[in-house]
Structure 1
Amino acid sequence: MPDREGHQYSQTEFIARSALAGGFAGGLAKTAVAPLERVKILLQTHNAEFIRFSGSWRGAAQALQYIVQTQGFRGLYQGHTLTLARAIPHAAVGYTVYEKVSKWIMPTPEYQTSTRRLTAGAITGISAMPLTYPFELIRVRLAVETSRSATRPTPWSAVRGIMAEGRSSGGITGRVPFLHFYRGFTVSLLGTVPYRGGIFLVWETLNAKARAVLPPATLQANQTRIHLVIGGIAGTVSQIFTYPLEVIRRTQQASGKGTPNRMIGFRETVHSVWMAAGWRGFFTGLGIGLVKQVPTHALSLASWQLAKKALNI
């Protein structure tokens, strides 16, 4: 693969550099918004202690303050190690796959259609999910834990709890308890296609528009700012359109605490969310979700480009 200066890299070296750039971008973005992510999960799963903070823009700030008061500053980052364990390899694999897939299905500018951009982004989102999804489930379990016991919940205690749920259930999940680490996986898969596909569709489309409208000197001087703005817009658009699926996914992921002996299905989850809060329940936490997604994708996509430039790919 050629670098920015026309030098050739071996496939192995290109993949290593691309994975390093993607992993750096994913880790940086997730660390920056980790406290907001925890609050969003608590609101999405209708946690009894935090339901009073939903429905207003001030609720997010009040929820953050409440976590610090009851769990200390470390509570804002409860489960963050698991977030990084998922986010870094997910971003490393995802961005590397996107580089390869986009070059394959869009080798020249005339091939860069909306459908192909959406397809490349969807493949990117799906690529790392089977390997990294259990980390996300464990992270959600840690995020929704609000008990004031002297022992702080750990990833290992969450793992043991999920495995116990699997063993106590009947059917195939009782025989293969590891399947309980994939609660909500089907909904995640369905949501990832439009979500990741939409992000890269908007990202590539707006970047192409910027290159067509702005003078090269302006692009060069403001490249990082432009990438931050476009990344934020891309994340915002995708978040709004796919948010109900995310609420359903989070509810299923957290459901083991209420239904440890079985995995609740899609229809049952939709019904429970509707009965809890009506149609608004599918958008609980959207405000903080948007506050989180703008910097997440702005930082992730912009730092990805900066890392690629630094690594000369």
Structure 2
Amino acid sequence: MAPVPVPATNRDPRSWDYAWKSFVAGGVAGCAAKSVVAPLDRVKILFQAHSPAYAHHQGSFFGVFRAVRDIHSSHGARGLFQGHSATLIRIFPYAAVKFMAYEQYKHLIFPVDRRPTPVQQLLAGSLAGVTSVFFTYPLEVVRVRLAFNVPVLSNLRNFYRGFTPTVYGMIPYAGVSFMGYERLKHQIHEISPDWSPSRVHLVAGGLAGAVSQTVSYPWEVIRRRMQVSGQFHADSYEAKVYKNSVETARYIWRRHGLRGFFIGLSIGYLKVTPMSMVSFWTYEACKQFLHIE
């Protein structure tokens, strides 16, 4: 039986059909990826902001797993997914907007008659990441504070605490992620043409995620410290309120040196590599399922 032809509008990024389907595909991909690494995400946040209850686990690779064990022992499986419902509420629109925006920026930036350059891919990815942040940042603040056991903010302005370093960090993170994925996908296919598309998407996505995490991680640490700042109680995590990202960076440098900007990076690799693998693989699978690939 001959395959059913895909309508041309489904492959035109300018069409509404392509836009909403890429939006759904991106949202599903983001939720699947975040669910896989939710326990590691919780531990990483606790390490980044120097939670006293888990500070003794920092500094070693196996400390991550010991922290997961302690959380599970004290709070059960639900403790490992604390704040995850807020994560899913945030991640669906975030990932949906990011992937949809990337498809649109690709159409605007990439040349029609030749392969796009790394700079063009980097620009499209960065713009897509920044666009998604503008729409979803308040939900990210709520998620972090729930995972960190501090009160949810009531002042609208405070919902954008740490917004500037988030944008700064998103530019290299999303840019390198998309650029790396696109470049690696083609290179892997050329080197190993017998690999299945799924295998190519998984490997390219994982490698791209690891590289982008390394480049953008210091900004993520600054953002976390700003998001949970201003809390003063018996087991306070961060009593100091930072005025801006520069002040936060100076404080981290004075207290912890260069290492302070990379605390929890090992968890970042454990988290971002599989998350990126699942995200890109799921997105490509959803595009095929929705007939826009």
Name the CA distance, whole Å, in 1 between partners of 2:79 and 2:48.
Answer: 18
Match of 2:8 in 1: 8
Q: Which consecutive residues of structure 2, in runs of 5 or more, have no partner in the other structure?
A: 233-237
- Structure 1 residue 91 corresponds to structure 2 residue 95: yes
Name the CA distance, whole Å, in 1 between partners of 2:98 and 2:92.
Answer: 10
Name the CA distance, whole Å, in 1 between partners of 2:105 and 2:266.
Answer: 33
Match of 1:112 in 2: 116
**Alignment partner of 2:245 out of 243, 266, 269:** 266
**Alignment partner of 1:182 out of 129, 142, 160:** 160
Which residues in structure 2 correspond to 1:120-199 (within 5 Å)?
120-145=124-149, 158-159=151-152, 162-163=153-154, 177-199=155-177
Match of 1:250 in 2: 224
- Structure 1 residue 58 corresponds to structure 2 residue 58: no
Amino acid corresponding to residue 266 of structure 1 in structure 2: S
Q: Which consecutive residues of structure 1, in runs of 5 or more, have no partner in the other structure?
A: 146-152, 164-176
How far does residue 111 in structure 1 lie from its aligned partner after superposition? 4.6
Please state whether the residue corresponding to 1:56 is helix, strand or coil.
Answer: coil
Amino acid corresponding to residue 279 of structure 1 in structure 2: L
Which residues in structure 2 correspond to 1:23-62 (within 5 Å)?
23-62=27-66
Which structure carries more helix by proportion?
1
Give the TM-score taking structure 2 as reference length.
0.90
Give the TM-score taking structure 1 as reference length.
0.85
* Alignment check: 8 A CA contact 1:232 1:295 kept: yes
RMSD of aligned alpha carbons: 1.9
* Alignment check: 8 A CA contact 2:26 2:283 kept: yes
How far does residue 271 in structure 1 lie from its aligned partner after superposition? 2.6
* Alignment check: 8 A CA contact 2:189 2:200 kept: no
Match of 1:284 in 2: 263
Match of 1:275 in 2: 254
Name the CA distance, whole Å, in 1 between partners of 2:90 and 2:16.
Answer: 23
Name the CA distance, whole Å, in 1 between partners of 2:76 and 2:250.
Answer: 35
* Alignment check: 8 A CA contact 2:229 2:241 kept: no
- After superposition, what is the alpha-carbon deviation per residue over 1:203-254, rounded to whole angstroms, capped at 9, x for unaligned? 1111122343343xx24xx111111111000010011121111111111111
Aligned residues, how many? 280
Name the CA distance, whole Å, in 1 between partners of 2:82 and 2:187.
Answer: 40
Match of 1:71 in 2: 75
- After superposition, what is the alpha-carbon deviation per residue over 1:236-291, rounded to whole angstroms, capped at 9, x for unaligned? 00111211111111111111324789553223212322233222111110101100
How far does residue 6 in structure 1 lie from its aligned partner after superposition? 4.6
Name the CA distance, whole Å, in 1 between partners of 2:96 and 2:113.
Answer: 25
* Alignment check: 8 A CA contact 1:37 1:292 kept: yes
Please state whether the residue corresponding to 1:46 is helix, strand or coil.
Answer: coil
Match of 2:235 in 1: none
* Alignment check: 8 A CA contact 1:255 1:264 kept: no
Name the CA distance, whole Å, in 1 between partners of 2:127 and 2:240.
Answer: 33
Name the CA distance, whole Å, in 2 between partners of 1:288 and 1:212.
Answer: 32
Of 9-18 and 230-239, the range deviating more from structure 2:
9-18
